[in-house]
Structure 1
Amino acid sequence: MECAAKGLAAEPCAGGVADRRCGSCGAVAYCSRAHQIIHWRVHKEECERFAEQMRRVNLLSQFPFTFLEPPALNHEFPSARCFFLQMFKLHQKGLWKSECICGSDVASAKDLSIAAEWNLQSSLCPCTEPENPVPAVLASWEDYYQWRSLPLHSPVAVLLHWPLTLYHCLQLYRLQTSKYDGQDTLCIHYLGPEKELLQLATFGELRALFPGVQIHIELVGPEVPKSRDGEVVNISRYARCSDESCCCKSSIGSEDSSCTAVRLKLWKGFYHERCSDIMKDSNPHLIVAPNAGVAAYPSWMPTIEIIRQTGIPAIFTDFCEEAAYLASCCISSITGQPLKIPIQVNPFRQPVAADNSALYLPCYSNCFIFGM
């Protein structure tokens, strides 16, 4: 944990870990009392808000899974996330490669669509069509696992938070309008993809969540490799399990683009730069921006203005409640309106905590959700 006063004080931070936490909120830490005093002029504006957010630590850490016992760190692995993956023999394998600090980044990927392996037994992953029709509403990970006949010790939620968050965004949008009810095609503009670019096969689960619906997703962001700009990835099957005898293997090599249920197109650049070109291809029902970090990146301001002008509903997520709060302030300063979808907990947030070197606030990928 870094000292919250780092960069503000004339004196450099003392060596070692910043383990002196604010006694009121417990969300920030300091290397010394002197630095805590210096930082108070900044922290006093946020302390009460942080304290309220810290009260939700237990709520946010509640998941139905049985795989969440924190592992003891092992010197062979550079992070707890790495060790967690190794517990399932998934470290640096298939779709899991980008889930830890050892993973390759998007820029070095030779083929964004190549990883389509769960590296799990068929009983632990959704590699085939569901046995039962999708319920009218899936409201939790427990609902999803029960529907997909998965045991609660399966770790697939660690990756499936991408398509399940998208599903939840569409359900929230559905409450606002019936615009897409009964339609056989759904178009989504997906802003700022990063590590999910190396996990595209997980979006195949949208086939099960929206049966009979063609889903077109335009993935737009600066992390899309230049060599992949304009690439189309068609997903007509689920990511495969490791069982050689499973029926999911029978579809290998038999993809037919005419029956593709999920079509992904990659666009390099910021949305406000590429919007006019993208709109020629597709008119979206919804814009989604996972883990957006709106307040942290000035490039979001012209994008939000474009969204405001088009009037297309947009839903954002972020890692922690403070990031969502700051984003809401930025959005409202541009739109002049309160959020249409207030900040709320995403039931399909990633069930493994994300590293947060600056604050003790609870932090999970796609943790909080809100919309304009």
Structure 2
Amino acid sequence: MECAAKGRDNNCVPGTPKRRCGNCGAVGYCSLNHQKLHWNDHKEECARFEQQMQRADLLSNLPFSFSKVTYQGCEGQSLRCSFLASIGVHLKALWKLECSCCTVADSLDSNSRLNDGWELPCSLCPCSEPTNRLATYLGSWEDYYQWRCLPFNSPVALLLHWPLTVFYCVQLYASQRSVSSAVGKLYIHYLGPEKELLQLAVFGELRALLPCVQLNIEFFGPGVPQARDGETMKIDTYVQCSDGSCSCKSSCQERSIHTNSVVTLKLHNGFYHDKFRYMDARPQLVIAPNAGIAAYPSWLPSIKLINEMGVPAIFTDFCEEAAFLAARCICSVTGHPLSIPIQVNPFRQPLVMEDQALYLPCYSNCFIFGM
């Protein structure tokens, strides 16, 4: 984190800002002088930040036994890396990009990693068919863990927030249109993927969540390596555990619930508005996780395209302020209010994001909203 007034002069005190705004507590400063210099810019947002900071306890209210322990950390190591090291998955397989010391740019040219495993024992991960068919609406991580018979010390939510957020978006889409999300074919366009490109195997959990749906997800974004443009893959198994004797290692896994259930993924390199002509099928739903709409002007033509197509789109972002600014951009393009107002995503990633520009509570896929 840097001083919010950095760049106003050349006298910024090095290091992490020691002062915070006394009203909202969300903005940091290196000195009282810089805090005064920044007030004309900050005064408009201060009351809004204060309200957003008041939701910190709500956002951290998660059922996992590890979510508080991770804040202790180790000296010289990020809190996130410290936790991953404590459970033996630091820089391993699917977990690699969850480490603060690993960058997306250094990793995306590798393969799709559909063969990587959980690196966890069977008791801690959903490596095979669920015991029971999903019969009720899933509205929280508690619901999901209980259905999948997982203990709350299992860290798999750190990766499963991707497919669970997709599933939650499908539930929102179905409820908005009073249609069933349980049967048929569903075509989703997924915009702006980055680290999830090395975690694609976890999208196989959508087989359990949407057992009677033939799901097709096309990923669009400049983060897709050019060498993988047009790559198609089918996922018909679950991510395997580390137990050598587990049934998930069998080539003849019992599929009493999900017979012939497959999730098909396809990758496209480039911005959505440039690549839409290469669509395999018109989407029923567009999803853009951690979109950062207000931060990137390249979103504006894509939003215009989505609006012209008349396709529902659901976005997420890391913090409430990013969602607020995104909503303002969307409404300026479409001329309409959001169809799904900004709300907390119950399937947000359960570890707080580190090294953010503000002290606002921040989690991957934290807030959800739609047009």
The two structures share one fold, judged by TM-score above 0.5: yes
> Would you say the 8 A contact 2:190–2:287 is kept in 1?
yes
Partner SS, residue 80 of structure 2: helix
For 2:34, give the aligned amino acid.
H
Does residue 209 (structure 1) correspond to residue 209 (structure 2)? The answer is yes
> Would you say the 8 A contact 2:212–2:261 is kept in 1?
no
Equivalent position of 2:272 in the other structure: 271
Equivalent position of 2:166 in the other structure: 166
Partner SS, residue 303 of structure 1: helix
Equivalent position of 2:193 in the other structure: 193
Equivalent position of 1:78 in the other structure: 77
Q: What TM-score comes out, normalization by structure 1 length?
A: 0.94
In the TM superposition, 1:212-251 aligns within 5 A as 212-251=212-251
For 1:231 and 1:240, locate their aligned partners in 2 and report how far apart those are by CA, in whole Å: 23
> Would you say the 8 A contact 1:127–1:240 is kept in 2?
yes
Does residue 91 (structure 1) correspond to residue 129 (structure 2)? The answer is no
Equivalent position of 2:148 in the other structure: 148
For 2:148, give the aligned amino acid.
R
For 2:126 and 2:105, locate their aligned partners in 1 and report how far apart those are by CA, in whole Å: 25
Equivalent position of 1:65 in the other structure: 64
For 2:220 and 2:309, locate their aligned partners in 1 and report how far apart those are by CA, in whole Å: 17
For 1:181 and 1:74, locate their aligned partners in 2 and report how far apart those are by CA, in whole Å: 44
User: What's the offset of the Cα at 1:115?
Assistant: 4.7
Cα distance, 1:167–1:137 mapped onto 2, change above 3 Å: same
For 2:360, give the aligned amino acid.
L
Runs of 4+ residues over 4 Å off in structure 1 = 179-182
> Would you say the 8 A contact 1:141–1:347 is kept in 2?
yes
User: What's the offset of the Cα at 1:311?
Assistant: 0.4
1:303-329: CA deviation from partner (whole Å, max 9, x where unpaired): 000001000000000000000000000
For 1:331 and 1:259, locate their aligned partners in 2 and report how far apart those are by CA, in whole Å: 39
For 1:363 and 1:274, locate their aligned partners in 2 and report how far apart those are by CA, in whole Å: 31
For 1:71 and 1:225, locate their aligned partners in 2 and report how far apart those are by CA, in whole Å: 34
Cα distance, 1:98–1:252 mapped onto 2, change above 3 Å: farther
Cα distance, 1:95–1:268 mapped onto 2, change above 3 Å: same
Query: What are structure 2's unaligned runs of at least 5 residues?
Result: 254-258
Cα distance, 1:357–1:104 mapped onto 2, change above 3 Å: closer
CA RMSD of aligned residues (A): 1.7
1:236-270: CA deviation from partner (whole Å, max 9, x where unpaired): 100000000001001399xxxx9451000000000
Query: What are structure 1's unaligned runs of at least 5 residues?
Result: none
Partner SS, residue 265 of structure 1: strand
In the TM superposition, 1:303-322 aligns within 5 A as 303-322=302-321
**Most deviating of 339-348 and 109-118:** 109-118
For 1:157 and 1:263, locate their aligned partners in 2 and report how far apart those are by CA, in whole Å: 22
In the TM superposition, 1:337-352 aligns within 5 A as 337-352=336-351
Partner SS, residue 268 of structure 2: strand
Partner SS, residue 333 of structure 2: helix
Percent identity among equivalent residues? 58
**Most deviating of 62-71 and 211-220:** 62-71
Does residue 175 (structure 1) correspond to residue 198 (structure 2)? The answer is no
Cα distance, 1:159–1:193 mapped onto 2, change above 3 Å: same
> Would you say the 8 A contact 1:95–1:115 is kept in 2?
no
For 1:16, give the aligned amino acid.
G
1:87-130: CA deviation from partner (whole Å, max 9, x where unpaired): 11010112101111333535643212345300001010000000
For 2:61 and 2:124, locate their aligned partners in 1 and report how far apart those are by CA, in whole Å: 21
For 1:61, give the aligned amino acid.
S
User: What's the offset of the Cα at 1:180?
Assistant: 5.5
User: What's the offset of the Cα at 1:212?
Assistant: 2.1
**Most deviating of 109-118 and 356-365:** 109-118
Does residue 262 (structure 1) correspond to residue 263 (structure 2)? The answer is yes
Partner SS, residue 44 of structure 1: helix
Partner SS, residue 66 of structure 1: coil
For 1:306, give the aligned amino acid.
L
Does residue 323 (structure 1) correspond to residue 322 (structure 2)? The answer is yes
For 2:164, give the aligned amino acid.
L
Q: What TM-score comes out, normalization by structure 2 length?
A: 0.95
User: What's the offset of the Cα at 1:64?
Assistant: 0.5
User: What's the offset of the Cα at 1:184?
Assistant: 1.8
